[in-house]
């Protein structure tokens, strides 16, 4: 699938939504000046289009393969990964103290968007490495940081997150993997983890597994979980990958999509010889995991942007090429490109609008990460509020857009050769992993509405109210305010019953405000500006009113849901 | 995937929505008494669950295969198809004059629903045969009927529809296949057709291709198209399949789903020896094709019901089994089955409600087919009005429900082994083929709103207004009325720009009214009744208000869509 990096759009969003110029005014992010940002966006765009996009198809058709010697990536992936490391693309947001460039998280977001639009499954590998870096950066000992961060910061080694077990999915506290002291300060890890993305591969000389496990006599539930670092190869005296650790890939899943990403079942300690190191304090695993999980959630939201952008580009290209039927109602009966038909335009403009909405939402959240890193407490609260929105709504939009992308292609969209179907299949995991979107909605109404006694929510609403201009958008913000305040004091069932539609309403309100802000920043009259104006207008005219239609669902009590016994669902 | 035929629901819908008892009061449908209906529903349910459902997975994983000798179906399909023919399931709605049972189309709809829920790809084969029967029944000569209908009515021979060519998809009039007189009353057919479902297979001794082609000097566009019957094997003097005709399967498509259904590229007349017969008058092809296409559209809408029912059953079974996390807000901290969590219930109840809505809609339309066959002109007008709704909205719902089904399964939904992904992949073709849903929306606003000078639309609205009870539903009907009347006189661009959201609004209004009617007919207090009451309440509380949120989109002018030049979509 040919791919054009959306550099003008990324730059606009970084400037107006992230406020990158403000960030660059700080000492910490001084390197993120306009020229650097342009160079990074152009550079990664060229790299991704040239090196990664051409591998998207083989990633799907051949995919990562499990063999007795571990996971083998499709032809070309190892070399393309090496090119990514050598190009320095892994270092963008990595800590400057450890070989990274220390650029803003929001700029790293743009880089990762481009890589993932070119090849979503492949880009999941760096995404996980970023999570491992963050966990070590915030919770690792100086020795652990020194041993691992230089290799992770460049992407030379890759990272994984090991939470899920067959009986412990959304309920992480139910996990059973164990860690027993070996007497030398290290731990012996034992257990089986499932759904481990890039749990094994042949692209890097080492893989750093971050593993949640229970120490002896640990309290039940999440309070008894600790985080361990388990390298695929133990480090030798010189800190280089040495002996193979006792971690084995038992199998990989046969998934509907994302075939370039091996989803592994990992078995730790089959021979009682899996050595791990404790990261942070014993029983502090959930806290450490949340550090990496929060930003990982934003990066999964970003996958929604990636797939939306890719699917949109493919559909636009098809619609600009495919000729079919004359324009209805016109005098000219010659066939036109389907982009000229109103309902095709509606689909395309919706795809453009929703892609831009998803991007604005995720970049907005990413910008709060950077502001929070500069000590801005309000930004930290905003980040907490909007993380579930960015994860859930952006991935929902990725799926909607990918589906529209198939529809624009007509019958050809259902045939695998066009690639439209791959976007659709790849996208479908994103509302599930890294906390299902239902879990995100529960987090929003269960924890985030109550933050600071409702102060964080009130502040977000105030932000929205201050900026919203369009009449329906003003009404939507007011509806979100009323619904949110009502849910904050509702009982648990009512709150959760309404959580998902409320999350969608609030997300659309925020996206609407951010898109209006982008619109105000447009000055030129070129194709880019006319496209932006039209798609933002579409968003305000159609998508914002749709969200108002969710108000009933967001205020419906749980009684309807419990008006039938569980068994009656099977009736 | 184990599968329980939804017999109680089907019977309720046949009684209250179709009004089967009324139909059975006519001479023509006297055989459709209550006992017969029960026997058919139970019988096909048992057959489909026992013989067809077990083949759904191999249909997906192995699929139909193209070989040099033609298409080979997966193991077990030929025998299961034979069992279908021998069980008489093909004869339900087939004409009594030609070996069929002549039962109502609506009852055949229920039979086809059950077969397709068990195995959607497989059930497409009988669906196409039904279309061929209808074309011959209404447009074939007595000789043609005598030669083919007895074999099609039992399902012994199968049928296909050959419209699409690479340059002629939605624009059927652009087709180029030719038919030249052979001088003996038959025609020599030449051309390539694509996307021909069950264009070849090894389950039946003959395949009857209905092919659109142009005769010499035919007018351009759809007015110059004629319909031809092209058997795979020409009939010998005794009317038995004899010499192989000059029709060749060039390849089959590699599709995202529906792998049990071979989607063929057929080449007619490579050796100038493809013999066809004209069906109906020369240049009358579109009219004949519409005969079969209209009911085929209902049958594709029915596929939305099939996949929704299957996905719902799978999700319910999973949610009743999977234990994860304690119920929020409760004192009891032990883990519960996920069906107990509010947001999972919301998803399941939505799936139930939308499945029932789709079924009500499609069966309602099917009932109009039967009433029209009894000479009810109002029913014929109703059928024309609601055919695009039944095709488009029911398939949209099938896709929505299949996606929710994956979500309920969490990570396991993305793994192919659970089957949730297959429903999702299979479903995605249904909004595309048999006229894309965009084409359906165009048909609604372009042709159907204007039928009888708006009388057909006014009559439908009057039907809805008479029955609607819930406040939001009354409002939705009023909104549909206002929007529809406005669109009827709008210019082509504005009408088409608004067509899709209008189609959805009107569909929801109709479904809401039909579900309310079902609700009024419920008398018992068992699991089935409590499930129905809860899902209908959910529909009225949540889905009807969402449709009200589409009003803005359904009244938005086309100007936004054309506020950018086509090329700017790529910006």
* CB-closest option in B328, B431, B571 to A407: B431
What is the nearest CA distance from A314 to chain B, expressed in angstroms? 10
B323-326/B335-337 β-pairing = antiparallel
Tens digits of residue pLDDT in A432-471: 999 999 999 999 999 999 999 999 999 999 999 999 999 9
Q: Where in chain A is the domain with CATH 1.10.540.10?
A: 7-153
Output the CA–CA distances (angstroms, integers) from residue B512 to A564, B520, B536, in the order listed: 20, 12, 8
Q: What is the mean pLDDT of residues B451-462?
A: 97
Residue A1 has pLDDT above 70, yes or no: no
* CB-closest option in A167, A254, A472 to B415: A254
Please name the residues between 153 and 212 in chain A that touch chain B, using a CB distance below 8 Å.
164, 167, 169-171, 174, 194-195
- Quick one: CA dihedral B406, B409, B413, B417, positive or negative? negative
Residues of B designated as active site: 434
> Both tokens of residue B260?
């049990």
Q: A491–B329: do the CB atoms touch at under 8 Å?
A: yes
- Point out which residues pair with B71 in neighbouring strands: B66
Q: A553–B568: do the CB atoms touch at under 8 Å?
A: no
A334 reaches B (C-beta below 8 A): no
DSSP state of B245: P
Output the CA–CA distances (angstroms, integers) from residue B47 to B35, B39, B81, B125, in the order listed: 18, 12, 11, 16
Correct CATH for B158-283 of 2.40.110.20, 3.30.70.150, 2.60.300.12, 1.20.1440.230: 2.40.110.20
* CB-closest option in A491, A547, A567 to B527: A567
Which of A252, A255, A342 to mutate: most B Cβ within 10 Å? A342
Tens digits of residue pLDDT in B349-395: 999 999 999 999 999 999 999 999 999 999 999 999 999 999 999 99
Calpha distance A498→A445 (Å, rounded): 9
Res B294: pLDDT: 83
Res A330: pLDDT: 85
What is the nearest CA distance from B136 to chain A, expressed in angstroms? 27
* CB-closest option in A349, A410, A553 to B542: A553
B454, B488 contact by CB (below 8 A) = yes
Res A440: pLDDT: 98
pTM: 0.98
- Point out which residues pair with A225 in neighbouring strands: A214
Res B1: pLDDT: 64
Q: A256–B414: do the CB atoms touch at under 8 Å?
A: yes
A257, A419 contact by CB (below 8 A) = no
Output the CA–CA distances (angstroms, integers) from residue A136 to A142, A227, A244, A280, A291, in the order listed: 9, 10, 22, 9, 10
B562 reaches A (C-beta below 8 A): yes
Q: What is the mean pLDDT of residues A386-415?
A: 98
| CA B317 centroid distance within chain | 26
A354, A507 contact by CB (below 8 A) = no
Which of B219, B256, B331, B424 to mutate: most A Cβ within 10 Å? B256
Q: B324–A174: do the CB atoms touch at under 8 Å?
A: yes
Measured between beta carbons, the chain A residues lying within 8 angstroms of B171 are 324-325, 335
What is the nearest CA distance from A146 to chain B, expressed in angstroms? 35
Measured between beta carbons, the chain A residues lying within 8 angstroms of B319 are 569
Res B327: pLDDT: 94
B11 reaches A (C-beta below 8 A): no
* CB-closest option in B170, B491, B550 to A329: B491
Q: What is the mean pLDDT of residues A156-161?
A: 97
Annotated catalytic residue: which of A51, A156, A434, A518?
A: A434
The angle formed by the CA atoms of residues A453, A459 and A465, to the nearest 5 degrees, is 140
Indicate the SS3 state at residue B227.
strand
Q: B410–A425: do the CB atoms touch at under 8 Å?
A: no
Measured between beta carbons, the chain A residues lying within 8 angstroms of B396 are none
Calpha distance B79→B158 (Å, rounded): 15
Residue of chain A nearest B545, judged by CA positions: A549
Average pLDDT, whole number, for chain B? 97
Q: A407–B432: do the CB atoms touch at under 8 Å?
A: yes
Please name the residues between 445 and 504 in chain B that touch chain A, using a CB distance below 8 Å.
446, 472, 491-493, 496-497, 499-501
Residue the block writes with tokens 């979107």: A437
What is the nearest CA distance from A42 to chain B, expressed in angstroms? 15
Residue A279 has pLDDT above 90, yes or no: yes
Residue the block writes with tokens 């361990």: A228
Which of B57, B564, B565 to mutate: most A Cβ within 10 Å? B564
B483, B502 contact by CB (below 8 A) = yes
Closest CA to B343 of A196, A478, A175, A388: A388
Q: For residue B399, what are the contacts with CB-CB under 8 A and spacing of at least 6?
A: A403, B304, B307, B424, B427, B428, B430, B431
Measured between beta carbons, the chain A residues lying within 8 angstroms of B7 are none
Measured between beta carbons, the chain A residues lying within 8 angstroms of B491 are 329
Indicate the SS3 state at residue A279.
strand
Q: B256–A545: do the CB atoms touch at under 8 Å?
A: no
Residue of chain B nearest A499, judged by CA positions: B343
Tens digits of residue pLDDT in B538-565: 999 999 999 999 999 999 999 999 999 9
Tens digits of residue pLDDT in B163-204: 999 999 999 999 999 999 999 999 999 999 999 999 999 999
Q: B527–A571: do the CB atoms touch at under 8 Å?
A: yes
A223 reaches B (C-beta below 8 A): no
B35 reaches A (C-beta below 8 A): no
More confident: B2 or B421: B421
Q: For residue B368, what are the contacts with CB-CB under 8 A and spacing of at least 6?
A: B379, B380, B382, B383, B386
B265 reaches A (C-beta below 8 A): no
What is the nearest CA distance from A423 to chain B, expressed in angstroms? 11
Measured between beta carbons, the chain B residues lying within 8 angstroms of A251 are none
Residue of chain A nearest B60, judged by CA positions: A256
Res B292: pLDDT: 80
Closest CA to B385 of B440, B305, B310: B440
The angle formed by the CA atoms of residues B389, B393 and B398, to the nearest 5 degrees, is 145
Please name the residues between 87 and 146 in chain A that touch chain B, using a CB distance below 8 Å.
none
Tens digits of residue pLDDT in B284-296: 999 888 888 888 9
Q: B552–A546: do the CB atoms touch at under 8 Å?
A: yes
Q: What is the mean pLDDT of residues B431-453?
A: 97
* CB-closest option in B348, B436, B496 to A569: B348
DSSP state of A415: B
Calpha distance B501→A405 (Å, rounded): 18
Please name the residues between 273 and 312 in chain B that touch chain A, using a CB distance below 8 Å.
none
Closest CA to A434 of A469, A386, A395, A385: A395
Correct CATH for A159-284 of 1.20.120.80, 2.40.110.20, 3.30.390.50, 1.25.40.10: 2.40.110.20
Q: Which CATH superfamily groups domain A7-153? A: Acyl-CoA dehydrogenase/oxidase, N-terminal domain (1.10.540.10)
Measured between beta carbons, the chain A residues lying within 8 angstroms of B398 are none
Calpha distance A358→A394 (Å, rounded): 5
* CB-closest option in A342, A421, A432 to B413: A432
Q: B433–A442: do the CB atoms touch at under 8 Å?
A: no
Tens digits of residue pLDDT in B72-125: 999 999 999 999 999 999 999 999 999 999 999 999 999 999 999 999 999 999
Residue the block writes with tokens 């896709």: B399
Measured between beta carbons, the chain A residues lying within 8 angstroms of B425 are 256, 425
* CB-closest option in B254, B339, B565 to A566: B339
Residue B160 has pLDDT above 80, yes or no: yes
Residue of chain B nearest A165, judged by CA positions: B411
A442 reaches B (C-beta below 8 A): yes
Counted across chains A and B, CB pairs separated by less than 8 A come out at 311
């Amino acid at each position: 699938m040919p791919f054009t990096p959306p550099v003008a759009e990324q730059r606009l969003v970084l400037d107006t939504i992230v406020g990158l110029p403000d960030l660059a005014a700080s000492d910490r992010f001084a390197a993120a000046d306009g020229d650097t940002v342009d160079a990074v966006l152009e550079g990664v765009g060229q790299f991704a289009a040239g090196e990664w996009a051409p591998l998207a198809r083989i990633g799907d058709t051949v995919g990562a393969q499990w063999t007795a010697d571990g996971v083998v990536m499709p032809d070309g992936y190892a070399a393309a990964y090496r090119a990514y490391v050598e190009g320095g693309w892994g270092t963008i947001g990595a800590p400057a103290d450890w070989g990274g460039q220390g650029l803003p998280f929001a700029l790293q977001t743009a880089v990762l968007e481009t890589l993932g639009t070119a090849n979503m499954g492949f880009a999941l590998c760096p995404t996980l490495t970023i999570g491992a870096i963050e966990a070590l950066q915030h919770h690792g000992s100086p020795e652990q940081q020194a041993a691992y961060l230089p290799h992770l910061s460049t992407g030379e080694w890759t990272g994984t997150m090991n939470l899920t077990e067959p009986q412990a999915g959304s309920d992480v506290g139910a996990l059973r993997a164990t860690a027993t002291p070996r007497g030398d300060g290290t731990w012996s890890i034992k257990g089986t983890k499932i759904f481990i993305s890039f749990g094994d591969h042949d692209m890097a000389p080492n893989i750093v597994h971050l593993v949640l496990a229970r120490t002896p006599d640990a309290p039940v539930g999440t309070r008894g979980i600790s985080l361990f670092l388990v390298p695929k190869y133990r480090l030798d005296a010189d800190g280089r990958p040495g002996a193979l650790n006792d971690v084995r890939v038992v199998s990989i899943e046969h998934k509907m999509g994302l075939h370039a990403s091996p989803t592994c079942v990992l078995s730790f300690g089959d021979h009682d010889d899996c050595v791990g190191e404790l990261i942070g304090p014993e029983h502090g695993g959930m806290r450490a995991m949340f550090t990496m999980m929060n930003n990982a959630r934003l990066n999964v939201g970003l996958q929604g942007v990636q797939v939306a952008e890719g699917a949109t580009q493919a559909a636009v290209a098809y619609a600009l090429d495919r000729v079919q039927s004359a324009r209805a109602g016109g005098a000219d009966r010659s066939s036109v490109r389907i982009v000229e038909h109103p309902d095709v335009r509606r689909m395309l403009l919706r795809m453009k609008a929703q892609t831009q909405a998803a991007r604005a939402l995720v970049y907005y959240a990413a910008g709060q990460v950077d502001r929070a890193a500069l000590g801005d407490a309000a930004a930290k609260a905003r980040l907490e509020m909007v993380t579930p929105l960015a994860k859930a709504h952006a991935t929902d939009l990725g799926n909607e857009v990918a589906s529209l992308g198939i529809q624009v292609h007509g019958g050809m969209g259902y045939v695998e050769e066009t690639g439209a179907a791959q976007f659709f299949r790849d996208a479908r995991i994103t509302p599930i992993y890294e906390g299902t979107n239902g879990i995100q909605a529960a987090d929003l109404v269960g924890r985030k509405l109550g933050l600071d006694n409702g102060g964080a929510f009130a502040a977000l609403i105030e932000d929205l109210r201050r900026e919203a201009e369009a009449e329906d958008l003003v009404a939507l913000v007011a509806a979100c305010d009323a619904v949110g305040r009502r849910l904050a004091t509702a009982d648990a069932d009512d709150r959760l019953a309404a959580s998902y539609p409320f999350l969608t309403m609030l997300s659309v309100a925020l996206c609407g405000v951010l898109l209006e802000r982008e619109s105000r920043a447009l000055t030129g009259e070129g194709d880019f500006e006319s496209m932006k104006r039209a798609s933002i207008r579409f968003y305000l005219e159609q998508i914002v009113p749709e969200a108002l239609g969710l108000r009933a669902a967001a205020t419906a009590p749980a009684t309807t849901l419990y008006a039938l016994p569980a068994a009656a669902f099977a009736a």
